[in-house]
Amino acid sequence: MEIAFFIITALLTIGAAVAMVLSHNAVHSALWLVLNFFGVAVLYLLLNAPFLAMVQITVYAGAIMVLFLFVIMLLGSEQGQEEVNGLPWQTPVALVMGLLLVVMAGYALFFPGTPVPTTQTPNEIGAPDILARKLFSTYLLPFEITSVLLLVALIGAVVLTMKSREGDRV
């Protein structure tokens, strides 16, 4: 039952990802990517990580993708940004190498040299309170640094997009 649900979700996620890469319209790509993010969120739930699933939906599918859509529409570059192709032969090479990577990973995963311990019983480690305790004790310093990082990104984004006044141009 669980396996079937997993497979359906996984196929949906993969399908959304493939559609994202293949779409000619950037807005469509973004929407396919949102679907993909939702699929991953569902998988997080399956993996007993409800908090992360919610973060995934709010931050990724919500905030980040809205930003993407906003920029696409601001620049008006939904379509027609693919005319120039400096490396036409790169597509087949990329496909072959991607296939190689998947085959390698599959081989390594399903035919391991040393036996891997079986999956343990489901547990509650993903509960928000456990996560929060860990985050505000062991990982307090990285957590604070992350906040500084976000501030820097905020300032950086503002500076980069600010319209410079005449004479300021370097």
Chain centre distance of CA 2: 24
* Four-residue CA torsion sign, 82, 85, 89, 95: negative
66 binds another protein (CB under 8 A): no
Q: Which of 8, 90, 140, 144 binds another protein (CB under 8 A)?
A: 90
Instruction: Spell out a b/e string for 89-100, using b for 16 or more CB atoms within 10 Å of the CB, else e.
Output: eeeeeeeeeeee
Residue 166 C-beta: closest distance to another protein, Å: 15
Q: Which of 12, 17, 35, 54 is in the footprint of another protein by CB under 8 A? A: 17
Work out how close the CB of 107 gets to another protein at its nearest, in angstroms, rounded to a whole number. 8
Classify residue 40 as exposed, middle or buried by CB count within 10 Å of its CB (0-12, 13-18, 19+).
buried
Minimum gap (Å) between residue 83 Cβ and another protein? 7
**For residues 74 and 167, which CB has a smaller minimum distance to another protein in the complex?**
74
Cβ distance 65 to 27 under 8 Å?
A: no
| Lookup: tokens for 51 | 């908090």
For tokens 């359906």, the residue is: 8
Of 115, 129, 141, 160, which one interacts with another protein (CB under 8 A)?
A: 160
Nearer Cβ to another protein (74/168): 74
Please, which residue, 21 or 166, has the CB nearer to another protein? 21
* Kind and range of the H or E run holding 18: helix 2-22
Residues 110-149 that bind another protein (CB under 8 A): 110, 112-114, 116, 119-120, 122-123, 125-126, 130-131, 134-135, 139, 142, 146, 149
- Binder of another protein out of 38, 42, 54, 105 (CB under 8 A): 105
- CA 121 to chain CA centroid, Å, is 28
Task: Please tell me the distance from the alpha carbon of residue 24 to that of residue 19, in angstroms, as a whole number.
Answer: 10
Nearest CB to another protein, comparing residues 160 and 167: 160
